[in-house]
């Protein structure tokens, strides 16, 4: 029944938009505008160099600065980012993983300058490194030291900034990488178990205070279009979390055991074809995480309708913000108790998901836990396999995507009438300005203080002591993001996660179509006197490898010998591998917007190496104007999300190889 008065309405969730681009100054202006429009929390998007621990002038940062978020290279950038924003009152989420400790240290250092008491700081650092190995790719260090950084951050935060969520366990990216609902629950909870075990085993938190640790663990989830199942998934997550924290960790206080999660609905499910359909997709997905009062999100951020086309404009983000506000303030949703209590349909689905998740959690536990299941490739292989099956259903038409594989006739869209002007673009001069700014910063700081702080950081990293205070000292001394990460790389080393490609089974469109392309690949190989070889590469810092992995799997299925070395390669490394392996085609995947810089560098490198007969094809979120520019620079073909039939893509690639060799 409805509550008797408005005073008993459930309070709205924290309303955010995920934002940041170009520079700290421009992002600060964007945040102020969004807060003035009624946004109640900030969600900071950092650019890829910041997320992977590089300064703007590093070779790997070329083409990536300010593209998918804001570059933050040192405390000066963080000062600018939060200029005029009351940090004691703000609720700030920061999407940052491998360098989460560092960005939190910068945030705390600037809050100290604001004289904001540390006990007032509220927000969240995305600090789940396991899902980075599985899906998102912005990991830096090997698993063991990465878990140490997480445990140190959590232990320090619980003691010093008790309103802060020092981690959110991210099932969001697992769903994007192909996880079924049961896998999503199991893998994220297995990660949470690994994190809690690491904190407990570090000895930094007294046993009687462990409930405070559990109470600050948050989750970051994804909501897809099967919104009834998604809502049931979150009810299941809440019950499993309560069960695990009570039985495994003995946490008696039910407030500590309550599931706390934020959400962004499914961005990779948005379509380039008929993008106006994304509006209703976003709204339906939002309902999955808000309808059930007992499993309602604590914070929500929505993508914009045109994110499949490029970077959204402020107006597009405003539209996404207004969707939340209409639901929270105009409807009667918040006036009721949980509207699904007593539903036998919901209870049956929740029970089914719990049963499947428990079985998968036990399977991971038998391997030694989430970290072991990363290192042996099990979880990654399962995700690649699941995503291949999902793609098969879309390609066959078994799963309908409106405007893509059914109902694809369309009228011209007035929303896209401006063409390239329908998305935000980052001025190419932004990167040059950031490079000069970081070099100027280094020239002006006290270098002796920097060296002393970095030495202390390295020395602390060689012990079991908590690294947070040493990181804050580095922040205040003017150390840069690349220097902090570089110091820890020197102690911890770097890591390359398993790709999972070898685990996937053949799948795709009808077997006859696959067989026809396989026959063309074999025939072409016979005419050339060798098996066709394809290099699949991800130049730059973009770690979203799901598409590249599926292309690699399908190329293997049609008979190509596939060279796939994973993520984060320089153009020169890709060229060297292509020449060494004698490949017949190079396929590049870029989702970060850096395609105009990194792709021509590969084309030019192949020409310089005498391999200009090797066609280069590109896939990613690439506006038509950019696609034309790439073709003008020698790229043989450009594929975007609308080209969802991978077997047809392989057929086109075989044709390009034949043309390149005059067959």
Would you please indicate which residues are annotated as catalytic (active-site) residues?
A: 18, 172-173, 538, 542, 544
CB–CB of 24/350 below 8 Å? no
Pairing of strands 167-170, 14-16: unpaired
Residue 126 CA to its chain's centroid (Å):
10
Question: Cβ(405)–Cβ(397) under 8 Å?
Answer: yes
Scanning the structure block, which residue is given the tokens 């008929």?
Answer: 274
Residues forming beta bridges with residue 95, ordered by sequence position: 45
3-state secondary structure of 19: strand
Rounded CA-CA distance 477/473 in Å is 6
Q: Name the helix (H) or strand (E) containing 49.
A: helix 48-51
Which pair of structure tokens corresponds to residue 591? 């989702």
- Give the residue from 291, 278, 301 showing the smallest Cα distance to 39: 301
Kind of pairing between the strands at 42-45 and 164-165: unpaired
Helix (H), strand (E) at residue 18: strand 18-19
Instruction: Give the CA angle between residues 517, 177, 360 to the nearest 5°.
Output: 115
- In total, the chain counts a number of residues equal to 663
Task: Name the one residue in this structure whose structure tokens are 């098969």.
Answer: 392
Tell me how far apart the alpha carbons of residues 44 and 242 are, in angstroms, rounded to a whole number.
30
CB 169 within 8 A of CB 192: yes
Asked if 80 and 25 touch (Cβ cutoff 8 Å), the reply is: yes
Q: Sheet containing 261-264: which strands, arranged edge to edge?
A: 14-16, 299-301, 261-264, 217-221, 167-170
Residue 49 · residue 96 · CB < 8 Å: no
Helix/strand/coil percent split, the chain, to 5: 55, 10, 35
Assess contact for 388 and 556: CB atoms under 8 A: no
Strand partners, 3: none
Report in angstroms the alpha-carbon separations of 547 from 176, 332, 599, 641: 10, 40, 17, 9
Element (H, E) at 258: none
Phi-psi category of residue 478: left, alpha or beta, with phi > 0 → left and psi -120 to 50 → alpha: left
State both tokens at 348. 């049956």
Cα end-to-end span (Å), the chain:
74
Q: What is d(CA 410, CA 137) in angstroms, rounded to the nearest whole number?
A: 36
Quote the CA–CA distance of 598 and 609 in Å, as a whole number.
17
Phi, psi of 167 (to 5 degrees): -155, 145
DSSP per-residue string spanning 333-356: GGGBS-TTTT-HHHHHHHHHHHHH
- HEC readout, 610-659: CCCCCCEEEEECCCHHHHHHHHHCCCCEEECCCCCCHHHHHHHHHHHHHH
Pairing of strands 533-537, 299-301: unpaired
The number of angstroms, rounded, from the C-alpha of 525 to the middle of its chain's C-alpha atoms is 38
């Amino acid at each position: 029944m409805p509550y008797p008065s408005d005073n008993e309405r459930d309070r709205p969730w924290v309303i955010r938009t995920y934002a940041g681009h170009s520079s700290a100054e421009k992002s600060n202006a964007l945040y102020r505008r969004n807060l003035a429009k009624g946004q109640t929390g900030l969600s900071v998007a950092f650019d890829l160099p910041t997320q992977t621990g590089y300064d703007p002038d590093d070779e790997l940062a070329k083409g990536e600065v300010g593209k998918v978020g804001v570059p933050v290279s040192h405390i000066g950038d963080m000062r600018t980012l939060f200029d005029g924003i009351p940090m004691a009152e703000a609720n700030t989420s920061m999407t940052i993983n491998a360098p989460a400790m560092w960005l939190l240290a910068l945030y705390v250092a600037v809050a100290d300058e604001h004289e904001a008491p540390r006990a007032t700081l509220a927000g969240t650092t995305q600090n789940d490194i396991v899902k980075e190995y599985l899906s998102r790719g912005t990991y830096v260090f090997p698993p063991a030291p990465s878990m140490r950084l997480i445990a140190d951050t959590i232990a320090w935060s619980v003691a010093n900034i008790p309103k802060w969520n020092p981690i959110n366990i991210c099932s969001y990216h697992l769903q994007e990488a192909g996880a079924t609902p049961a896998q999503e629950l199991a893998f994220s909870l297995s990660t949470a178990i690994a994190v809690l075990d690491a904190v407990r085993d570090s000895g930094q938190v007294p046993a009687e205070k462990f409930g405070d640790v559990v109470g600050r663990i948050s989750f970051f989830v994804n909501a897809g279009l099967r919104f009834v199942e998604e809502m049931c998934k979150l009810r299941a997550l809440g019950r499993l979390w309560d069960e695990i924290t009570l039985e495994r960790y003995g946490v008696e206080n039910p407030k500590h055991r309550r599931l706390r999660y934020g959400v962004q609905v499914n961005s990779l499910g948005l379509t380039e074809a008929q993008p106006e359909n994304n509006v209703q997709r976003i709204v339906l997905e939002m309902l999955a995480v808000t309808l059930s009062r007992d499993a309602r999100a604590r914070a929500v951020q929505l993508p914009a309708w045109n994110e499949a086309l490029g970077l959204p404009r402020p107006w597009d983000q405003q539209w996404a913000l207004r969707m939340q506000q209409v639901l929270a303030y105009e409807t009667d949703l918040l006036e009721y108790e949980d509207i699904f209590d007593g539903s036998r349909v919901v209870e049956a689905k929740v029970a089914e998901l719990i049963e499947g998740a428990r079985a998968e959690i036990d399977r991971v536990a038998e391997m030694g836990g989430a970290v072991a299941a990363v290192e042996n490739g099990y979880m990654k292989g399962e995700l690649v396999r699941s995503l291949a099956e999902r793609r098969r259903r879309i390609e066959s038409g078994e799963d309908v995507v409106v405007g893509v594989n059914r109902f694809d006739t369309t009228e011209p869209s007035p929303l896209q009438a401006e063409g390239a002007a329908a998305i935000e673009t980052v001025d190419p001069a932004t990167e040059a300005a950031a490079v000069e700014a970081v070099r100027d910063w280094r020239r002006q700081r006290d270098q002796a203080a920097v060296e002393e702080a970095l030495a202390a950081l390295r020395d602390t990293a060689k012990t079991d002591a908590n690294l947070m205070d040493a990181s804050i000292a580095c922040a205040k001394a003017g150390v840069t993001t690349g220097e902090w990460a570089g110091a820890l790389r020197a102690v911890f080393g770097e890591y390359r996660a398993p790709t999972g490609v070898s685990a996937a089974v053949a799948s795709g469109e009808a077997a006859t179509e696959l067989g026809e392309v396989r026959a063309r690949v074999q025939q072409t190989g016979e005419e050339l006197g060798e098996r066709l070889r394809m290099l699949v590469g991800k130049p730059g810092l973009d770690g979203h490898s799901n598409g590249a992995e599926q292309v690699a799997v399908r190329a293997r299925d049609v008979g190509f010998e596939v060279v796939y070395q994973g993520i984060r390669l320089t153009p020169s490394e890709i060229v060297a591998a292509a020449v060494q392996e004698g490949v017949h085609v190079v396929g590049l995947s870029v989702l970060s917007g850096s395609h105009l810089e990194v792709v021509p560098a590969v084309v030019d490198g192949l020409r310089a190496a005498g391999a200009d007969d090797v066609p280069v094809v590109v896939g990613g979120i690439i506006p038509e104007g950019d696609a034309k520019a790439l073709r003008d620079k020698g790229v043989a073909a450009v594929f975007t999300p609308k080209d969802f039939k991978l077997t047809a893509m392989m057929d086109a690639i075989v044709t390009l190889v034949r043309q390149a060799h005059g067959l």
